[in-house]
Amino acid sequence: MRDRHRKQPERHNQTLWQQMYFHLSSIRIRLTLWYIVTITSVLLLFGGLLYSTIAKMLPSSAPGDLLPIARQIFLLGLAILLFTAASSYWLASRAMRPVRLITRTAQEIGRTDLSRRFHLTSRDELGELAGTFDEMLNRLEAVLSRQRQFTADASHELRTPLSILTLATNRALSGGSKPETYKQALDTIAAYRQEFSLIQAETDHMTRLVNDLLLLARADIEQTILTPASVDMSEVTLEVVERFATLARQRGIDLSFGEFPELCVHGDRLLLTLMVTNLIDNALKYTSGIGNRVFVEGSTAMRGEKAWGRIWIEDNGPGIAEEHQSYLFERFYRVDAARSHASLPVEEEGIQKEITSGSGLGLAIVQWVAQVHQGEIRLRSTVGRGSCFEIWLPLVDGSDSDEGGRKDALYLQL
């Protein structure tokens, strides 16, 4: 018991010493002491020189005659020293005020949220430091906001196919009465095949959604591993068009391939193929109907002193309203919420299949692929007249692509 009471004063004294050490080691106190020492040294030097000069000017005077002069010099120096100490402390406090503001704001940011900012208007080094912190907080808040929105949207998007899978599985497992005739058995088999076809379609949709989510997540953290090489975009586009030809005929869409010069770019062939695939797939999904068409063509153009390749995918579908066009490349954004999970019927081997309209990530991936290849995506659309997506990519000479591979690879591996 006595030891406990004895330790309490020791802890109290230790806390006091820590507080004193903190205050004495603060920058404000150190600046004040530095000013005092500097001014004291100057006063001692100046006072000594002044006293020596006066003593030389009065050689016949007795030492006692110089005592009042020395006293006046000392009092004047002491007054200057006290004034310097007070003004130094005030100046140091004023100079350290932005630092205290930065510290207090940083503590509040850590305790509450990332919406607080420093907002220092000074143009000195501390103002520059606070501005750098504000920019960093803006980027950090934007990243966290995108992450929260990404998680919420992904959860919402995965919920729909999972619900469809659950319903289809329950219908298939619930079964019914045992078929008694051959016709009833065929009808039961057809019903099972239809349910399993729907399950397969939704499973494929979930697989594409998860793959797209993983691709964009890796892009956000800059861990996408690319394989840059010389790629002819005319070959890539033709392969994609041929792959979609059967699906276009089934939907009654005229998918045509126009003139296409050689467009040699330096990039990742898989990602460039994915970009063209998403654009053509998107055009076919929202241009369903007899008499509709999707036209794909390419050309070259000069922008400044640099050659660019231009690929455009044009359709005569319903078009996109102007107020939606600026948001079209955002993740999970859809022009019409009613068609977010709309299904398009496709006949395959006598089975009516339902193909969902997409994950809402295709155009976001298209924009990212274009940007990572130093290109861009442009959109021209008019409601009732269709849309035209343009891919612009910088061209390289086939002979120069290998030599520039290293330099471009550093850029592509973001």
- The whole-number mean pLDDT for each consecutive block of 10 residues of the chain, a chain of 414 residues, reads 52 53 57 73 73 66 64 76 77 75 75 69 74 82 74 72 78 69 75 79 77 74 73 92 88 87 91 91 78 86 89 89 85 57 39 46 87 92 89 78 37 32
> Distance between CA atoms of 196 and 273, rounded to whole angstroms?
30
Burial class (CB in 10 A: 0-12, 13-18, 19+), 287: buried
**Which residues, including other chains, have CB under 8 Å from residue 316's CB and lie 6 or more apart?**
287, 292, 293, 385, 386
Phi-psi map region of 6: left, alpha, beta (phi>0 left; psi -120 to 50 alpha):
alpha
Phi, psi torsion values for 76, nearest 5 degrees: -65, -45
> Distance between CA atoms of 68 and 142, rounded to whole angstroms?
72
User: At residue 397, what is the residue type?
Assistant: D
pLDDT for the residue 19: 53
Neighbours of 294 (CB within 10 A): 24
**Token pair recorded at residue 30:** 């150190």
First to last CA, the chain: 65
Phi, psi torsion values for 314, nearest 5 degrees: -115, 140
**pTM exceeds cut of 0.75:** no
> Distance between CA atoms of 315 and 334, rounded to whole angstroms?
18
pLDDT for the residue 9: 54
Residue 413 and residue 341 in contact, taking contact as beta carbons nearer than 8 Å: no
Q: What is the domain class of 226-414 according to CATH?
A: alpha beta
User: At residue 255, what is the residue type?
Assistant: L
Domain boundary assignment for the chain = 2-111, 226-414
DSSP label of 337: G
- Residue 29 CB-half CA count within 13 A: 7
**Token pair recorded at residue 261:** 């010069």
pLDDT for the residue 411: 33
Residue 411 and residue 333 in contact, taking contact as beta carbons nearer than 8 Å: no
**For the residues of 209-235, what is the DSSP string, one character each?**
HHHHHHHHHHHHTT-----EEEEEHHH
pLDDT for the residue 341: 39
Phi, psi torsion values for 255, nearest 5 degrees: -95, 110
Phi-psi map region of 304: left, alpha, beta (phi>0 left; psi -120 to 50 alpha):
left
Question: 332-364: buried (b, 16+ CB within 10 Å) or exposed (e) per residue?
Answer: bebbeeeebbbbbeeeeeeeebbbbbbbbbbbb
> Distance between CA atoms of 216 and 274, rounded to whole angstroms?
13
DSSP label of 26: S
Q: Where would I find the beta strands (DSSP E) of 184-283?
A: 228-232, 253-257, 264-268
> Distance between CA atoms of 91 and 111, rounded to whole angstroms?
31
DSSP label of 119: -
pLDDT for the residue 264: 93
> Distance between CA atoms of 16 and 20, rounded to whole angstroms?
6
pLDDT for the residue 272: 93
pLDDT for the residue 110: 64
**Which residues, including other chains, have CB under 8 Å from residue 85's CB and lie 6 or more apart?**
32, 35, 36
